[in-house]
Chains A and B, each alone.
Chain A
Amino acid sequence: MPILSPADQEYLRQVFAERLRDPVTIVLFTQRVTQIRIPGYECATCRETNQLLEEVAALSDKITLEMHDLLQDAELAQQAGVEEIPAIILKGHNKGTVRFIGVPAGYEFATLIEDIIEVSRGTTELSPLSRETLAKLAQPVHIKVFVTPT
């Protein structure tokens, strides 16, 4: 049973066809569904996230999904600074790091789709002044935006 309805799939397929420019890789740190459960390591939303992203990636040949198991690929997760799963890292024309921690449901799904498109194009709708300010930042900044599904 797909998470995305046929209508949503068709809509996204069209949006991706029109707006994606260059390839995007979605790196997903998760828990593999087949893995033996280890007490304390259950991931409540990994299964749903895995399926949702597989469905999204199937809607455009410009989107590649790269799945890693947090425990099996612990070293890679550490390099990526991933501590919680599911964790999504977008790779394309972005200069900085774009990540989603937790299932991107509700409004965050729209944010994820928009970010996939912007990472593919390397452009955002930020004002020229904002872009200039951001390009001249002296120190690294880690912005955490905490949300709940709505």
Chain B
Amino acid sequence: MMAIESDKVTADVVEVSEFPHIAQRYRIFAVPKVVINESLEFEGARPEAAFVAMVESVAGRQDEETPQG
């Protein structure tokens, strides 16, 4: 859904049992597991607002970085 709403977002749903090397690389012991930009990760579902807040914490917000005027 997030990738449908923002051109900044790429969302992959990865069926990890087919790709043991991916499971190993990301140390997946429980699903669902979410990894954002290879940096922030968590296991289990999150409420929408919390998930979006995490995405924002990784990606930053435009109007904070663009100088005004």
Task: Say yes or no: A99-B8 contact (C-beta < 8 A), given A45-B18, A127-B49, A145-B34.
Answer: no
Instruction: Report, as a range, how many residues of chain A touch the other chain.
Output: 35 or more
Chain A positions 102 through 139: 1 when the CB is less than 8 Å from some CB of chain B, otherwise 0: 11110010010001001100111111011101111111
Complex CA gap A102/B18 in Å reads 7
Tell me the residues in window 1-54 of chain B with beta carbons closer than 8 Å to chain A beta carbons.
1-19, 22-23, 26, 28, 31-38, 48-49, 52-53
CB-CB nearest in chain A for B64? A138
Task: Say yes or no: A146-B61 contact (C-beta < 8 A), given A96-B9, A119-B4, A127-B48.
Answer: no
Would you call A141 and B4 a contact (CB within 8 A)?
Answer: no
Would you call A125 and B1 a contact (CB within 8 A)?
Answer: yes
Complex CA gap A145/B34 in Å reads 5
Q: How far is the CB of B46 from chain A (nearest CB, A)?
A: 11
Number of A-B residue pairs having CB atoms within 8 Å of each other in the complex: 187
Chain B: interface residue total (CB-CB under 8 A) = 45
Complex CA gap A101/B15 in Å reads 6
Residues of B within 8 A of A (CB): 1-19, 22-23, 26, 28, 31-38, 48-49, 52-53, 55-56, 58-65
Residues of A within 8 A of B (CB): 44-45, 84, 93-105, 108, 111, 115, 118-119, 122-127, 129-131, 133-149
